[in-house]
Amino acid sequence: MIDRRRLRRKLGFWRVLAALVAGLAVLAVTYASGWRPGGKATALREEIARVEVTGVITEDRDRLELLEELKTDPRVRAVIIRVNSPGGTTVGGETLFEAIRQLAAVKPVAAEIGTLAASAGYMVAIATDRVVAHRSSIVGSIGVIFQYVDASVLLGRIGVEVNAVKSSPLKAEPSPFAPAAPGAREMIGRLVNDSYDWFVGLVADRRALPEAEARRLADGSIFTGSQGLDNKLVDALGGEAEIRRWLETERGVPAGLKIEEREPEKDGWGLFGSARSALFGLLGLDPSAGDLVEALGGSGGHLDGMVSLWQPPRH
């Protein structure tokens, strides 16, 4: 009989807990749908979403998934992409550019340039339909770079010799262990020039510039926001207030919507995420980085392959 009473008490506890959880879930869904105490329910709480693109740009699956979610989120009437980046990998800039163009096909999207939108950072900004910069922002650095190290002299001084058996002379060239093989620089030059022509084409198309003018601006130069406006690299000077004016007057977004920060959901949260951050901090890397590539990029590390980056790391 005592055991039965204990069992009934335990069952009662779990039933009450389940009822509380269900009640909280209903309240959460109701709140998200727009209902407030003392007010009438609305179908949606509409908002303008703001997405930050900061630091070195790499292929970021989490950010791409966020942009895909914003495209179908009925609460989001428009999106502001806030850019503060020196650039990054060419593929990272390309994938982000394409994702923003897909989003812009569904909803109004504008870019606010903070301190810096250079190289792949500028590529991201021009994916939007309205580019706004501050007067003293830095924009431009349109171009592509491929860096490699020749450490053969240093290795020779310390008595290290690296040998390789290759299927062809250009396999794995250029190598950091020996001077570049004949034809390697020409091969890399073709690679860089192809991506550069593609980048110039994006600028000419998105900024409605003649190709010759886009190419003139794409000599690696950087510009202030004011100079960028004169050169048609940006549409207006200002910040979120200017973007809001454009959204409301030219894109039909309701006035007064709240701007909500939207962030990607990062993997590795919890205890593992804390341990990872602590390890990055001990190694002198960025403890807020989502992964090792981002941590190395944020601390001046090397990015393999082609990059579209202003002031790349020097080795």
Q: What is the 3-state secondary structure (H, E, C) of the chain?
A: CHHHHHHHHHHHHHHHHHHHHHHHHHHHHHHHCCCCCCCCCCCCCCEEEEEEEEEEECCCHHHHHHHHHHHHCCCEEEEEEEEEEEEEEHHHHHHHHHHHHHHHCCCCEEEEEEEEEECHHHHHHCCCCCEEECCCCEEECCCCEECCCCCHHHHHHCCCCCCCCCCCCCCCCCCCCCCCCCCHHHHHHHHHHHHHHHHHHHHHHHCCCCHHHHHHHCCCCEEEHHHHHHCCCCCEECCHHHHHHHHHHHCCCCCCCEEEECCCCCCCCHHHHHHHHHHHHHCCCCCCCCCHHHHHHHCCCCCCCEEEECCCCCC
Residue 270 belongs to some domain of the structure: yes
Residue 268 belongs to some domain of the structure: yes
pTM of the model: 0.75
Tokens representing residue 80 in the block: 């502001």
Q: Are 54 and 86 in contact (CB under 8 A)?
A: no
The CATH number for 282's domain is 3.90.226.10
Q: Are 88 and 117 in contact (CB under 8 A)?
A: no
The answer to whether residue 119 is catalytic is yes
**Options 10, 166, 171, 266, the catalytic residue:** 171
Residue 206 belongs to some domain of the structure: yes
The answer to whether residue 171 is catalytic is yes
- Check residue 32 and give its pLDDT: 52
**Options 85, 107, 119, 195, the catalytic residue:** 119
Residue 173 belongs to some domain of the structure: no
Residue 15 belongs to some domain of the structure: no
Residue 222 belongs to some domain of the structure: yes
- Check residue 223 and give its pLDDT: 97
pLDDT tens over the chain, length 315 residues: 555 666 566 666 656 666 666 666 655 555 555 554 544 444 569 999 999 999 999 999 999 999 999 999 999 999 999 999 999 999 999 999 999 999 999 999 999 999 999 999 999 999 999 999 999 999 999 999 988 888 888 888 899 888 889 899 888 888 888 888 889 999 999 999 999 999 999 999 999 999 999 999 999 999 999 999 999 999 999 999 999 999 999 999 999 999 999 998 765 444 445 555 555 555 555 555 655 555 555 444 444 456 776 776 555
Q: How many domains in the chain?
A: 1
Range of the domain at 269: 47-147+178-309
DSSP bridge pairs for 56: 87
Residue 152 belongs to some domain of the structure: no
- pLDDT tens digits, 146-197: 888 888 888 888 998 888 898 998 888 888 888 888 899 999 999 999 999 9
Residue 13 belongs to some domain of the structure: no
